[in-house]
Amino acid sequence: MFELIFLGTSASAPSARRNLPALLVKHDEFRFLVDCGEGTQRQILQSGVGFKRLNRILITHAHLDHILGLAGLLSTLMRWESMEELEIFGSAGALERIHDLLYGVVLRKNSPPVPIHLRTLTPGVFFDEGGLTVSAFPVYHRGSDSLGYAFEQKGHRPFLPEKAEALGIPPGPWRRNLVAGQKVQLPDGRTVGPEDVLGPFRPGTRLVVVGDTGEIDSLLPVCRGADALVMEATYLDEEAEMARQFSHMTARRSAELAQRAGVRQLFLTHISRRYREKDVLQEAQSVFADTLVARDFDVYTVKREEGSSED
């Protein structure tokens, strides 16, 4: 299960009700901040989520509306928060610009109070811990060396206590070992295997965050079957030519990706202040009904439906 906290949902410039891009993804004890637009630290405070364990920041690309908040956030963390280290993940091009921002503007010649690690990513898994993997994948957006991120819980075979009871397996290490996939010998001498007490394999919940993009065909494989897709919708279809010119999505095209990929829920963000929210939603839902337009401070839970599986 994932929790999404939308901290900024505007495109390019803030509006009266929408701040610049930032999304917090939570899973158990892990927290990942995806992008950090100007004003993100205030959004974090206003949302009530706080700065605790906010030490992993994933950057989709280096356009200023997605990274300028790093300067203020780092300044605040240096002065007021206790943190052992800060990791910032992104492409080589994005991290080069972030390095100039942090070390050239915020820190200058000073050393950071905690280690700052700029982690250059290539496509593939870069985080694997506690039953969660996070992987990066390439995204086309005006030659900006962009990345998207896929979060996935590891699948499992559920333990069926009724089968364990029927077989007379006592609580304790026998059941724990069976859940771990090991055969066990019971106190009465019988041998029982995991297949005797475990149900069919259940894939874990999968969340895909794309960020800004100018095309969708290359995204189909990574989005296919996702439980949730977070996607931009900077333009409406009436300005599709402008969307192509600036390498952005219309609400319709984002919905087309969701429909083609068979995702379960589409969250639209990066909304231009030139449009009314209801018009963005109407255009997307005409193609893909399970669409929501995210607002600042919206909180959503993403989890795999019981009984669902990958096609």
pLDDT digits (tens, 9 = 90+) for 161-184: 999 999 999 999 999 999 988 999
65 belongs to the catalytic site: yes
pLDDT digits (tens, 9 = 90+) for 228-267: 999 999 999 999 999 999 999 999 999 999 999 999 999 9
65 is an annotated ligand-binding site residue: yes
Between the alpha carbon of residue 104 and those of residues 98, 100, 107, 234, 299, the distances in Å are 9, 5, 6, 31, 35
Domain 2-155+203-302 in CATH 3.60.15.10 = yes
What is the reported pLDDT for 147?
98
**240 vs 247, 250, 251, CA distance in Å?**
10, 6, 10
On whether 141 is known to bind a ligand per the annotation, the reply is: yes
User: Cα(127)–Cα(116) distance, rounded to whole angstroms?
Assistant: 17
Interval 189-215: pLDDT, tens: 999 999 999 998 888 999 999 999 999
pTM, full prediction: 0.89
**Which tens digit of pLDDT belongs to each residue from 11-33?**
999 999 999 999 999 999 999 99
Residue 99 known to bind ligand: no
* Mean pLDDT, range 268-295, rounded to an integer: 97
**Cα Rg for the chain, rounded, in angstroms?**
22
Q: Which of 35, 65, 227, 296 is catalytic?
A: 65
Question: Distance between alpha carbon 4 and the CA centroid of its chain, in Å?
Answer: 8
Spell out the domain ranges in the chain.
2-155+203-302, 161-196
